[in-house]
Amino acid sequence: MSQRYAPGVGVALAGLALAASLQPWPASATLTAEISLAGGSASLTPIAAALAAASLAAFLARRYDALGQVEGSLAAGIASVATALYALGVVVRAVGAGDDPGIWPATALAAGTVAGLAALVDGLGFDADDVLDRVQLTVSGAILGVLGLLVLSLWNTLLLAIAGGIVGSPGAGTRILISTAATGIGSATVVFGYLDGTDRGLDFLDVDWPDTRDVVYGVGGFVVLLLVLLVGAELVDVLGFSSAEHSIVQTARENDPAILLWLIVPSVLLVGPGEELLYRNVIQKSLYDSFSRTGAVLVTSALFALIHFPAYATGGLLETIGSLLLIVPLSIVLGFAFARTENVVVSALIHGAFNGFQYAALYVAITRDIAFV
């Protein structure tokens, strides 16, 4: 990236974070102070303001060559990340205390995070066109993920209407079964819409009969997913987070746990293939144009976790974050399985089998709890 572009972006973002620190933040989660102005007084969050001001000063010094590339980007990056971490701490403490954190800490968090990325880009000397290409591809991937959610909702509504016309008002089990099927069908619909809209044929899809090497990666990937799930759950617990239940699991717990067993087949045949075609074979593969394979896997995994936010928004913010933190490493395993085999069948089988295993295990856990009540 050019010597002027990244620091200029950083100046704007650091300024936004500083402005946010001059707005009301939750008093229960941070220090606040009042400052006197000519026209009255204003609320101030002194620590956030000091960090944002340091970030702004460093970006300005870098922008006008008062600091060199290495020291300037390092100073700006440290101050920006510190601003974001402080704002994150305020949000977490406010939510933990049952307060509304408000928009301003979140604004400082977002501005500080992106400013830190701008400092990183400046320090590494990335070309502006290359960075913009990566941003464009990432945004395109996010749009495809959101489209997947929208099309899923449309398919869910359509299938519910059809089921209602056949059997009357669907019960909880039927609704979950339809929702699960709609997830796979909706993802596949977006994939084929993408192929048609970009004039790509079916040969763009990396679908092959698994060979011996693929089988090894499939079995190994499934085992690694189980290990990642166990280790990740322990880490989330150590960090003080608690994970939220998926809306499907919550419904099954409140109605009939046997619903979970009904979902194993559609998870293997529809959800695994549909989501892997969309996230690995389309989104991850499209990122190869500007990202390394590893970079594409990491970006896709972040998008995959964020798209699952609505499904896990059954509890508080901290519980939802805990669940999403578990999804990222699981998605990374699937991404590397696809990257190494270049066969979406492998990641689809791992994904579907893992979901099926989870449903079976949850059924056993829930029914055991019920039996002991």
User: What is the pLDDT at residue 38?
Assistant: 45
Structure confidence at residue 324 as a pLDDT band (50, 70, 90): confident
Residue 18 CB burial class (10 angstroms; 0-12, 13-18, ≥19): buried
The DSSP H or E segment spanning 33 is: strand 33-37
Say how many CA atoms lie within 13 Å of 309 toward its Cβ: 10
Reply yes or no on whether the pLDDT at 35 is more than 50: no
Structure confidence at residue 189 as a pLDDT band (50, 70, 90): very high
Reply yes or no on whether the pLDDT at 2 is more than 50: no
Give the residue carrying structure tokens 């001001």.
Answer: 53
Reply yes or no on whether the pLDDT at 236 is more than 50: yes
Q: How far apart are CA 80 and CA 112, in angstroms?
A: 5
Reply yes or no on whether the pLDDT at 141 is more than 80: yes
Give residue-wise pLDDT tens across range 169-182.
777 778 888 989 99
b vs e for 305-341, b when ≥16 Cβ sit within 10 Å of the residue's Cβ?
A: bebbeebbebeeebbbbbbbbbbbbbbbbbbbbbbeb
Give the distance, in angstroms, between the CA of residue 164 and the centroid of all CA atoms in the same chain: 34
Q: Cite the DSSP H helix spans in the chain.
A: 5-21, 46-63, 69-96, 103-124, 128-167, 172-197, 212-238, 247-254, 259-262, 264-266, 272-276, 285-287, 293-307, 309-312, 317-341, 344-372
CB 6 within 8 A of CB 118: yes
Ranges in the chain annotated CATH 1.20.120:
5-126
Residue 33 β-bridge partners: 44
In the structure encoding, which two tokens stand for residue 28, read together? 């229960």
User: What is the pLDDT at residue 42?
Assistant: 44
Note the CATH architecture for domain 5-126. Answer: Up-down Bundle (1.20)
Reply yes or no on whether the pLDDT at 244 is more than 90: no
For residue 206, the tally of other CB atoms under 10 A from its CB is 17
Give the alpha-carbon dihedral of 307, 312, 314, 319, to 10 degrees: -120
Reply yes or no on whether the pLDDT at 29 is more than 70: no
In the structure encoding, which two tokens stand for residue 19, read together? 């402005």
Give percent above pLDDT 70 in the chain: 86
Structure confidence at residue 223 as a pLDDT band (50, 70, 90): very high
- Main-chain dihedrals φ then ψ at residue 26, nearest 5 degrees: -65, 120
User: What is the pLDDT at residue 31?
Assistant: 54
Average pLDDT value for residue range 142-162? 92
Find the range with the poorest average confidence among 43-47, 250-254, 337-341: 43-47
DSSP state of 202: G
Phi-psi region of 201 (alpha: psi -120 to 50; beta: other; left: phi over 0): beta
Q: Cite the DSSP H helix spans in 97-127.
A: 103-124
CB 49 within 8 A of CB 18: yes
Give residue-wise pLDDT tens across range 59-99.
999 999 898 888 989 999 999 999 998 888 888 777 777 77
Sequence-distant (≥ 6) Cβ neighbours of residue 220 within 8 angstroms: none
Give residue-wise pLDDT tens across range 39-58.
444 455 788 899 999 999 99
